[in-house]
A and B are shown apart, each in its own frame.
Chain A
């Protein structure tokens, strides 16, 4: 019998170092930005941490914030592993949320409606990703362009749907009607808003891990992503693998959208997602497309998001700091690979 090694492999160690390095560099540059704004960076980060985890309520709000980010980025991790760059998760999320909401309202409450809404939402996201996936596989059109364009089609479509055909009759702003209360996800921690969706997101972590590490599909995804030539010689149907990994990321994006509706917002609004689909890209890369890494990274990004709202009213740092930190994080995650290589050559780092 082969003994499983419990030690961390060299590759894993390397990606942990890379992720930590990118976080440290991002915090360093953010500190400079704080200093420019006459704000003590250490104090700012303490406030941020308190804003994210200060008490049970704040901590559960951070978990709630993590939920859509985690679900989206788990899906993206699968497609990124296949080197398929789905940047259309934002649109897939909105379409999933909209269709799932329509299903919940249409069926009219009850456990069936709850389940149906989740399924319809996820399938909606899948279908929205299927167009770009077909264009990629059948016509060879770059999925980055098509998935991004589909965001605009999808979000404008949802905007229109909540402004006209599915508009709630009893609110002033354009938004859909509320889903029946019996199709909302139950609160699992009394006194907070922590809902079943959080558990669902966390349960997806081992599932996606299993999918990637223990199934033939996961193996194919890795081979197609790392060595398409080998995949071709090995007789793999590359197109099929690409198609499935892209629509799978759409499926989870749609699920993230409907979970956000059923757990926290209860209706579709134009402000449903502050860019979770884009945050998911950074999270998947920071977590090195590894479900456990992705879970930690989405908690980190959720903490920054919630912590920054505390910063906004304590230190007058605008909320845009989240977007700035995301952008920096993205650049540093990318640059960390050559940086680690450089440090290794210099003998500073031994991995």
Chain B
């Protein structure tokens, strides 16, 4: 009993700094934001009412959901392919895949966004190259639109989408795959009818994490969207820092947090936290 007790106390002590930090730096200020949303500029539900009627806010919400959905599909699909190689490839392939997954974590999100600008802009590498081989005559608009935002965000989120998938693929019983092949199923068929369905929890976890991350993206859409493809986080920023409309910015923040919270609750109904790492 003593052992268990002291273990618990020890665990609580180890967790305490993080918990304290979250309360002081996140929960407490957020309560302030909640307060603003009900009190600025006048007390009441005015800002939430505005939120429901303001066309701009609604279009940004819809765009954010659309981009997040596209980014999720792109990221999870790409991550699935990389993870298959990482978990089940030859030793050399594994090292290569690991490199591709880990290196992006070392490069700042800002650097990566500007990197994509350099690649995708009208006089960027891709357009220059396509023109030089005569494939196109006019540069393609690859950036400062939703396409650029999707590319940049997917690039950022793929490594995060990998981990839940890897965890699901690692816990899969190899013999079940052998059984499928032994029963006459080709590799392709085994992949689609056995392997993919058996990694379902990983796919759900990966998709929800990517989707939730996408909703709050700020830097990447701001740079690659070029102001034409504003997402919700950028809208909050604009409301609070550029137009003195703190109440509306706060209300949007509260709605975003509640929405994300609901998605997380949904996630943990289907997937155990330990399956995600």
> A and B, one complex?
no
A interface residues with partner B (beta carbon < 8 Å): none
B interface residues with partner A (beta carbon < 8 Å): none
